[in-house]
Structure 1
Amino acid sequence: MSTSKGRGREETQEERADRRWSDLLQELRVAQTGVQILFGFLLAVVFQPRFAELSDADRNIYVVTVVLGATTAAALIGPVSYHRLLTGRRLKPQTVDWASRMTVIGLVLLFCTMCSTLLLILRVALQNTFALWLVGGMALWFLVCWFVFPLWALARGRSGPRMDEAPAEDPPAGPKD
């Protein structure tokens, strides 16, 4: 694709939707793989002999973690289903928008799942309140990596139009300041 006057790509709404969908699929592949491995691990925990020794609090954390893992998997696999059910209905731009929203929800749920998983593992491993401090530190790190850095980059680059949107009309020619 060519650029015009530094305004980004010149592409139709359908071409933009195709590109955005392809980008989203690549992102989902990374997230889905991690979620599926984590969820598989969580499902196996209940069948371990030591599970019977967990306190009621740790069992409750486990149940919450498994439910969070399942909802995370659903949110991150959902865009594929959404796309498949709407393919051929001339709704690709809307499909990409909704799939993108589902992916963000999935990332927020993944954040919660990771924190809950860490809490369970560190409580069992350390058996003290230091686990809570470690989870808090890791939660902060996840927030910074997954949300703060991208939002910071967005704020810094806000001066120009989004690259995936249609360019705005050129302002009328006139004298420059």
Structure 2
Amino acid sequence: MTIDDQEWDRNARHETETQRLDRNWASLVQELRVVQTGVQFLISALLILPFQAGFTTLSQPMRLLYLGTVCTAMGATVFLVAPVSWHRILFRQHRLGNVVAAAHRCAMAGIALLGLALTGATILVMTTVAGTIAGAVAGVLVALLFAGAWVVAPWRWRDGRDGSGG
């Protein structure tokens, strides 16, 4: 957050620095709750796959994609849950600014890994159901969709290039 943003919070919201940090922490925790549910569902689905009869028919490249997808989903979980650990360890240490900053970075890393995991899962499913070309096309389309919705659009709005005048 820039000095201008902090001044805006003080003037428009009449917030102290502590109130701003509390609000930012509450917003971040709420966002993480939404994302964690999706990651938990994805991991559940991925973890049961090897125990299904058809899993043994997967080719070696598909098994590697599966393992990469599991690893990225687990990485997403680590980063999306890490802010809870940070908060618990630093609780009552007057380090909320550090916790909010670290939680923001963890959330961004977790969201990126979730996008990769969902892309991998899409490729696995589409390839299994409709073939290699369909899997590759679906993977590219999903990756572009994530990039557009999760990165490009918010960055354009952040930079004031959305045409709304700021």
Same fold (TM over 0.5): yes
Residue 99 of structure 2 is aligned with which of 82, 89, 95? 95
Aligned amino acid, residue 137 of structure 1: L
Q: What is the aligned length?
A: 154
| Residue number in structure 1 paired with 2:89 | 85
Contact 1:119 1:132 (8 Å CA) reproduced: yes
Matches within 5 A, 1:104-119: 104-119=108-123
After TM superposition, the structure 1 = structure 2 runs for residues 155-170 of structure 1, keeping only pairs within 5 Å, are 155-156=159-160
Q: Secondary structure at the match of 1:103?
A: helix
Query: Residue 32 of structure 1 corresponds to which residue in structure 2?
Result: 36
Query: Per residue, is there more helix in 1 or in 2?
Result: 2
Contact 1:13 1:93 in 2 (8 A): no
Q: Which of residues 134, 139, 145 is equivalent to 1:141?
A: 145
Which letter maps to 1:58? M
Unaligned runs of 5+ in 1: 158-177
RMSD: 1.7
Q: Which consecutive residues of structure 2, in runs of 5 or more, have no partner in the other structure?
A: 1-6, 162-166
Shift of residue 7 of structure 1?
A: 4.7
Q: Distance between the aligned counterparts of 2:148 and 2:52, measured in 1?
A: 34
Whichever of the two has the greater Rg, that structure is: 1
TM-score normalised according to structure 2 size: 0.88
Does residue 1:73 correspond to 2:77, yes or no? yes
The aligned amino acid for 1:100 is H
**Contact 1:86/1:95, CA 8 A, preserved across alignment:** yes
Residue deviations 1:41-88, cap 9 Å, x none?
Answer: 000111100001111111111111111111110010111111111110
Matched residue, 2:3: none
Runs of 4+ in structure 1 off by over 6 angstroms are none
Note the C-alpha offset of 1:145.
0.8
Q: Equivalents in 1 of 2:111, 2:85: separation in Å?
A: 17
- Higher relative contact order, chain-length normalized (CA < 8 Å, sep 6+): 1
Please, what TM-score do these two structures have when normalized by structure 1? 0.83
| Residue 130 (structure 1) shift | 2.4
CA distance in 2, matches of 1:143, 1:7: 35
Say whether 1:59 aligns with 2:49: no
Aligned equivalents of 1:103 and 1:79: distance in 2? 8
- TM-superposition CA deviations, 1:121-159 (whole Å, max 9, x none): 1111112312211210111111111111111110117xx
Q: Distance in 2 between matches of 1:110 and 1:134?
A: 16
Cα distance in 1 between the residues matched to 2:11 and 2:69: 45
Amino acid at match of 1:24: L
Amino acid of the residue matched to residue 145 of structure 1?
A: A
Rounded to whole Å, the distance in 1 between the matches of 2:98 and 2:18 is 10
